[in-house]
Amino acid sequence: MNNVEKQLFTMQKQQFEHDEFFHKEITRLNVHQRLNHMALHFAKYVGKICDCVLNSKDEQALKKNVIDSFIIATTCANILNIQISNKLELSHSKNLFELGDNIASRLGIDTAESLWLVKTYPVVVGELAKACESIDHLEPYQYREKIAECVIQIFSLMLVAASYNNIDLVAEVFNRLTGVKKKSIFFDYFMSQHA
C-alpha cells in the first residue's frame, strides 16, 4: 500500500467511525434512503459551488463546499462498500495534490478554465439523482453501477478541485469533522474513548 492508498483508506475509516457515532439518524436508514440523503447533500453543495463560482466569488465558501462534497463522496463510497483507492489510478501520485493533478490530466480537465467545476459537477449530480430516482420507479436501470460511478466521479472532481485550490484534504477534512463532532453532547465521551 503506497502513501496515497494509506491516506485514502485512513480517511474512509475515519469517516466511517464519524458517521457511525455522530450521524446515527442517517446510518440507521436503509441503504436507499441513505444514498438519497447523500444525493440531496450533493445537490446542496453543487448549488453553493455554482453560486460561488458564478456570483459571489467567495473562495472560502467554495473551499468549504469542495471539502463537504469530498466528505459526502467518502461516505457514499463507504455505504456502497467501495475502497476508493481501488477505483483510482494512484501509481504516479505521491500525495493527494499530485493525485488531483493526475486525475485532471487523465480526464482532460483544464483547471485554468474558470468554469470547469460548474460544467462538470452538476452533470454528475444529475446522473446520480436519476439513478436514485430509478430505484423508486423500479426502472430497468443499472442504478447501483451508475451510483458507484457517480460517487467516484464526484470524489475525483473534488480531488482536482482541492489540488487546484490548494486545499489540504487530510487536514481540512479532519478539521471539518472535528467541528461537527464538537456540536454533539457526546464529544468529550467520544474523545476520551479514542484517546
- At 162 the pLDDT is 98
Q: What are phi and psi of 65, to 5 degrees?
A: -75, -25
Cα separation of 151 and 132, whole Å?
A: 12
List per-residue pLDDT tens for the chain, 195 residues long: 689 999 999 999 999 999 999 999 999 999 999 999 999 999 999 999 999 999 999 999 999 999 999 999 999 999 999 999 999 998 889 999 999 999 999 999 999 999 999 999 999 999 999 999 998 888 888 999 999 999 999 999 999 999 999 999 999 999 999 999 899 898 888 888 876
Q: Is 150 part of a structural domain of the chain? A: yes
5's enclosing H/E stretch is helix 3-22
Q: Is 63 part of a structural domain of the chain? A: yes
Domain count for the chain, please give it: 1
Which pTM was predicted? 0.95
Q: Is 195 part of a structural domain of the chain? A: no
3-state secondary structure of 2: coil
Cα separation of 140 and 138, whole Å?
A: 7
Cα separation of 1 and 195, whole Å?
A: 26
- At 1 the pLDDT is 64
Domain assignment of residue 182, given as a range: 3-190
- At 106 the pLDDT is 94
Terminal Cα distance for the chain, rounded = 26
- Nearest C-alpha neighbor of 74 from the set 181, 170, 142: 170
